[in-house]
């Protein structure tokens, strides 16, 4: 099959630092090529992939750091979307199916296509232009979708789903560490959805060192100043900011536990999976997909809140790291993800005839 994979303009494939969906796209392309298929990426010009690349923008355009620039940023994104639409229409005679990652396929409903739902469903439109309210999907219910967890699918069950496909990466790129260092970690966005302040509070209350890895932008500036900044001088708190891939893996792999105090219905949690590749357990609030990613009391521990987490954190430290790595690598990897997407492609091609 020839598959047109449409990425966003917000990060390269693979991303240099932060960028969950772009990392998934990279491994999907890798898997499709290994299976003998021909993916074509419509993405940023600074992407580095082993397939044909059609640039939709010269280089990735990152979200602005200042709220006053968001209107100009959104206008630029709309121009890029129109350019992407033109390029995709020119490509139709050459391809079998379109696979979108956040690009609007409303104008391509008669062509075999599907969209992966990387983001949570929301009731209204937040400031991020690539997050859409329920009314957006109501107008596009005839399109095909793939959910990245059963929890995500259950939050909007009457869309036309071509399947549920768990994200996957290449576990061989992650070391298995059976004897970790004496710290816990948080890896993710510094905002009120991810709640890293709760991870800090838990670590400090237990007297254990915590390493913080991630990013913040205009949408989380006030949160960072109010909830994170007051802890940055604490001797147990090590703020590392946004790291590159290898440094992030190093932090995850050597941690005694990955803390994941999610505050929303998270569709998936790549850092939970990545920690598991290394044998690192995750202590997580049981929301969204966490119960699908974590085998409770085996690959991590699920709690109602981090007050409960206070009483079970040390139990997390004693979980079998070799079991965690083996189980996570078997359940979540790019080979399985790719095969599941191939089934979804064939399904939408068949139903489009």
CATH code: domain of residue 262: 3.40.50.2000
Shared domain check, 343 and 276: no
DSSP element (H, E) containing 282: strand 282-285
Shared domain check, 307 and 338: no
Per-residue confidence (pLDDT) for residue 63, from 0 to 100:
75
Shared domain check, 206 and 307: yes
Shared domain check, 319 and 179: yes
DSSP element (H, E) containing 277: helix 270-278
Task: Compute the distance between CA of residue 152 and CA of residue 26 in angstroms, rounded to an integer.
Answer: 22
State both tokens at 231: 């802890």
Shared domain check, 337 and 327: no
Shared domain check, 311 and 343: no
Domain enclosing residue 79, as ranges: 2-168+333-352
Shared domain check, 86 and 59: yes
CA dihedral angle for residue 271, residue 9, residue 224, residue 254, rounded to 10 degrees: 20
Shared domain check, 125 and 51: yes
8 A C-beta contact, residue 56 and residue 83: yes
Shared domain check, 115 and 138: yes
Enumerate residues 6+ apart whose C-beta is below 8 A from 344.
Answer: 114, 144, 146, 162, 163, 165
Q: Which residue has tokens 């549920």?
A: 164
Shared domain check, 179 and 164: no
Shared domain check, 161 and 137: yes
Per-residue confidence (pLDDT) for residue 344, from 0 to 100:
98
Per-residue confidence (pLDDT) for residue 126, from 0 to 100:
57
Shared domain check, 225 and 140: no
Q: How many domains does the chain have?
A: 2
Low-confidence stretches of the chain (pLDDT beneath 50) = none
What residues pair up with 57 in beta bridges, in sequence order?
Answer: 44
Per-residue confidence (pLDDT) for residue 130, from 0 to 100:
57
């Amino acid at each position: 099959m020839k598959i047109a994979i449409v990425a966003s303009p917000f990060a390269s494939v693979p991303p240099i630092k932060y960028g969950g969906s772009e990392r998934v796209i990279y491994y999907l392309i890798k898997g499709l090529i290994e299976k003998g298929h021909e993916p074509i990426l419509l993405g940023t010009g600074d992407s580095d992939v082993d397939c044909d690349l059609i640039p939709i923008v010269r280089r990735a355009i990152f979200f602005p750091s200042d709220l006053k620039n968001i209107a100009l940023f959104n206008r630029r994104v709309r121009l890029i979307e129109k350019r992407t639409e033109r390029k995709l229409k020119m490509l139709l005679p050459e391809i079998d199916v379109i696979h979108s990652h956040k690009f609007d396929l409303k104008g391509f409903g008669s062509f075999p296509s599907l969209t992966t739902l990387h983001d949570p469903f929301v009731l209204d439109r937040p400031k991020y232009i690539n997050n859409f309210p329920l009314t957006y999907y109501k107008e596009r219910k005839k399109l095909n979708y793939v959910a990245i967890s059963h929890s995500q699918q259950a939050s909007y069950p009457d869309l036309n789903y071509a399947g549920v496909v768990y994200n996957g990466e290449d576990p061989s790129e992650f070391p298995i560490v059976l004897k970790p260092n004496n710290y816990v970690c948080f890896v993710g966005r510094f905002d009120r959805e991810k709640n890293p302040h709760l991870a800090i509070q838990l670590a400090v209350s237990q007297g254990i060192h915590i390493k913080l890895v991630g990013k913040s932008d205009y949408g989380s500036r006030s949160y960072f100043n109010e909830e994170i900044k007051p802890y940055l001088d604490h001797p147990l708190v090590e703020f590392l900011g946004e790291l590159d891939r290898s440094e992030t893996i190093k932090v995850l792999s050597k941690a005694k536990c990955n803390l994941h105090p999610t505050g929303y219905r998270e569709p998936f949690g790549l850092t939970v999976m990545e920690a598991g590749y290394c044998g690192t357990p995750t202590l997580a609030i049981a929301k969204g997909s966490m119960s699908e990613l974590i085998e409770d009391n085996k690959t991590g521990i699920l709690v109602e809140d981090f007050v409960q987490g206070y009483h079970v954190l040390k139990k997390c430290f004693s979980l079998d790291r070799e079991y965690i790595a083996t189980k996570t690598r078997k359940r979540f990897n790019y080979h399985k993800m790719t095969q599941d997407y191939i089934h979804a492609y064939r399904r939408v091609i068949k139903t489009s005839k």
